[in-house]
Structure 1
Amino acid sequence: MSSERPVRKRGIRRMRVSAADVARAVGVSPATVSYVLNDRPGVSQDMRDKVLSTARELGYPLQAHQQNKGRERTRVIGLILQDIANPFYAEVSAGVIDAARARDYEVFLAHTQESGEMLAKVVDTMVTRRVDGVVITVLHPEDGEVVRRLRGAGVPFIQFSRRIPDLRADFVGIDDCAVASDILRHVVADHGHIDVAVITGPPNSSASSTRAASFVRTAQTIGLSLPPHRRFNAYLTAEGGHTVVQRLMARDDLPRAIVCGSDAIASGVIGALRSQGLKVPDDVAVTGIDGVFPAASMLAELTTISVPRRRMAELSVEQLIKRVDGVGGPPQVLIQPHRLRIGTSCGCRPESLVSWTRTAQED
């Protein structure tokens, strides 16, 4: 048994205290700690007292376990989106609702439009309305207090598409680094474009920041110049892409290709170019990421990365309900495969359109 005095984790570190941390501090197996925390038989009273005492010293959220034990389910889960007007989130919403209803749950839906204040209000409302769990698509690194609020109330949650780095919590998403690298390599290696600009979403989004960093790293690897004046951040809407193109045109500095971090941004880029009489891809090649536009849309030939949004939604609900049921094991990171969908907006000819899928196991 460990003789060292346990060190209580404080501030943002408190979110990382796990049952395994408690087990190491006490000198017992994680299974023993699980038995104690879930009030199961098979552990002596002395050991039970020791585990609970150590958990309190470390700052483990015992309140969550205590509340869960006597908590009556509402059979409602929360879904917090970035912006429901974004087609990506519209399909995620439909997938979560369908998956939840298949398990006899309903969904309390809200969006924050990147407002931390709104996120805090939405979480408080969901906790007050006693949702059984929450799927969150909008977490930023500065949202630690929101996480503490959920854990203090005993409400399990799933990080979807975005996550807080180093947070011990379930995550469902894609390999954003590989996604950005794949689409940029296609534009540069397959089409030979050397004057390229990239537009990604808000830098405090883990998905957008990872894609932005991957664009820079991939450019360095393949010998492409991607200076700061060719790198932009925008809101994840068509308006965001439109605004960047307006800035580029105002200074007469349009690149030969624009690689976008989302299809929503790409749609704004294409719209802005067309409004100025420019042709895609003859004048400017454009690509996106997400694969959200249906075949009947004006962007049917957009070269993009298709993301399995429905499957991700189903996995999120499945994992969340496991947490509501008190099972699921250690935090899960569920990375899903993506698919490069070749259209004509990059310059590929219609007869050469192909697609390929990268699985989560590929480099």
Structure 2
Amino acid sequence: MKRTAPKTRSITVSDVARAANVSKATAARVLGGYGVVSDTIRADVMAAAKTLDYRPNELARSMTTGRSGIIGVVVGDIENPFFSLAVRGISDAARAAGFNVILANSGERIEMEKAAVRLLIGKRVDGLIVTPSESRDISHLRDIHRSGRPLALLDRALPDLDVDTVTVDDRCIAMQATRILADAGHRNIAYVTAVDAEGHEYRDLGQIYTSSVRERIDGFLTVCRDAGIDRPERYVRLGATSPDQTRRVADKLLSGPDRPTAILASDSLIALEIFRVIRQRGLRVPEDISLITFHDADWTSVTTPPITVVDQPVYALGKSVAELLIRRLKGETRPPERLILPTAIIERGSVGPPSNRKP
């Protein structure tokens, strides 16, 4: 006759209470982190929990206290170093305050973002941090806000949603980066972004529903027009959504008779693929093509030449937005804050005057 192994019984709050010689209610207060007990009793209960290897039932605790101790986070692309570093800032701030983090990826698609929000709410998260993929459809975010569950926005502001938000001044910093290229003498300047639109071709800002990208393109075009550049929008390229697609965009951009002499990339993943295509086509940075990218990724400082970058305070963005949310979770009531963190440009060796060499 086959024997079945005895089931291992989970250690309960009652077990810890008996071992510590306190009531179950007292043990629950200590283990749940709420209520008031003496330091001696707290030490006794925690020692008993450690000896018994007590592991809290998070679902049961959330049903009892109304809190899960979890923050839900939805970002656009977890493979992008920008979001990876921002999430590290969120996680560090959450851990320091006694919260855990559940991370979800929207792929910059609104339906995936909505599904991620529904999933996290189903997990009974206490609050959410979201990087909204677009500004035209925010009904799911309004629902979170109306429910009373705290919501904070990372990197992208929504003027129509009055919640805590942490961003940089994307328009201003895009203007600064573009002005560096224009001041170097460039008149054929391209802007390449992962955001796409119907038809895959840029026509006007009304196509762009991601707030930070819209502000960057606006800043880019403003400086180009101020510099007397004719029809600068013809060099705005959309749809660099993957390494393969970015290489196709870059190949097409650099193969034309009026190829740009300078490129501003919207993130370091795009810039890396553009840099590769430039090299593969036998061109040089900055002699043939000048290059600037948003985000000071590790690779940008070790290439030859090193790449001029928009140095965004990415870790601080994540840490700051988490701290704002945690203050809400701890009961602070105050008007929503919109923090704009300072951003700098690190000038390296990837910008020079336009080349006179024919394509």
TM category (shorter chain) comes to 0.7 to 0.9
Q: Specify the alignment match of 2:116 in structure 1.
A: 122
Q: For 2:167 and 2:97, locate their aligned partners in 1 and report how far apart those are by CA, in whole Å.
A: 22
> Aligned partner of 1:313: which letter?
G
Where 1:108 maps in the other structure, the secondary structure is strand
Shift of 1:211: 0.4
Offset of residue 260 of structure 1: 1.7
For residues 88-237 of structure 1, the aligned pairs below 5 Å read 88-189=82-183, 191-202=184-195, 203-235=208-240
Number of equivalences:
279
Shift of 1:237: 5.0
Q: Write the letter of the residue equivalent to 1:310.
A: Y
Q: Distance in 2 between matches of 1:314 and 1:344?
A: 31
Establish whether residue 318 from structure 1 lines up as the match of residue 320 from structure 2. no
Paired residue secondary structure (1:131): coil
Q: CA deviation at 1:200?
A: 3.1
SS of alignment partner, residue 172 of structure 2: helix
State the distance in 1 between where 2:164 and 2:304 align: 34
Letter aligned with residue 287 of structure 1: I
Q: What is the CA–CA distance in structure 2 between the aligned matches of 1:84 and 1:339, rounded to whole Å?
A: 24
Q: Give the corresponding residue for 1:79.
A: 73
CA distance in 1 between counterparts of 2:337 and 2:349 reads 37
Deviation string 1:240-282 (CA, Å, 9 cap, x unpaired) is: 5423212224444421111122222211211111122211111
Report how far residue 110 of structure 1 moved.
1.0
Paired amino acid for 2:131: T
Matches for 1:243-282 after TM superposition, within 5 Å:
243-282=248-287
How far 1:204 moved relative to its partner? 1.6
Residues 1:238 and 1:173: Cα distance change in structure 2 (over 3 Å): farther
Structure 2: which amino acid aligns with 1:193? H
Pick which of 290-299 and 278-287 moved more. 290-299
Amino acid at match of 1:85: E
Distance apart, 1:224 and its partner CA? 2.6
Letter paired with 1:194:
R
> Using the alignment, how far apart are the partners of 2:110 and 2:122 within structure 1?
18
Give the deviation of 1:149 after TM superposition: 2.9
Q: Could you tell me how far 1:295 is from its partner in structure 2?
A: 6.5
Post-superposition Cα deviations, 1:147-169, rounded to whole Å, max 9, x if no partner, equal 13312443211111112233211
Q: Does the CA contact (< 8 Å) of 2:240 and 2:249 recur in 1?
A: no
The aligned amino acid for 2:87 is S
Q: Report the TM-score when normalising by structure 1.
A: 0.72
% identity of equivalent residues: 28
* Structure 1: distance between partners of 2:85 and 2:135: 25
Q: Do residues 284 (structure 1) and 289 (structure 2) align?
A: yes
How far did residue 139 of structure 1 move?
3.9
Question: In the aligned structure 2, how far is the partner of 1:317 from the partner of 1:200?
Answer: 27
Q: Which range moves more in the overlay, 151-160 or 246-255? A: 246-255
SS of the equivalent of 1:288 reads: strand
Letter in 2 for 1:86: N
Cα separation, partners in 2 of 1:180 and 1:332, compared to 1, 3 Å:
same
RMSD of aligned residue pairs (Cα, Å)? 2.2
- What stretches of structure 2 of length at least 5 have no aligned partner? 1-61, 196-207, 354-359
Query: After the TM superposition, which of the residue ranges 176-185 and 245-254 deviates more from structure 2?
Result: 245-254
Ranges in structure 1 where 5+ consecutive residues have no aligned partner: 1-67, 349-363
In 2 relative to 1, CA 193–272 (structure 1 residues): closer, same or farther, beyond 3 Å?
Answer: same
Within the alignment, does 1:335 sit opposite 2:340 as a pair?
yes
Structure (1 or 2) with the larger CA radius of gyration: 2
Q: Judging changes above 3 Å, is the alpha-carbon distance between structure 1 residues 96 and 198 closer, same or farther for their aligned structure 2 residues?
A: same
Matched residue type, 1:265? I
- What's the offset of the Cα at 1:170? 1.3
For residues 238 and 300 of structure 1, the distance between their equivalents in structure 2, rounded to whole angstroms, comes to 21
Structure-2 change in CA distance of 1:111 and 1:341 (3 Å): same
1:184/1:114 Cα in 2 relative to 1: closer, same or farther (>3 Å)?
same
Tell which has more relative contact order, 1 or 2 (C-alpha 8 A, sep 6+).
2
TM-superposition CA deviations, 1:17-76 (whole Å, max 9, x none): xxxxxxxxxxxxxxxxxxxxxxxxxxxxxxxxxxxxxxxxxxxxxxxxxxx9x9621111
SS at match of 1:310: helix
| Residue of 347, 351, 358 corresponding to 1:346 | 351
Q: Which amino acid aligns with 1:156?
A: P
- Alpha-carbon deviation of 1:109? 0.4
Kindly indicate whether the alpha-carbon contact (under 8 Å) linking 2:189 and 2:264 is maintained by their aligned counterparts in 1: yes
Contact 2:75–2:83, Cα closer than 8 Å, also in 1: yes
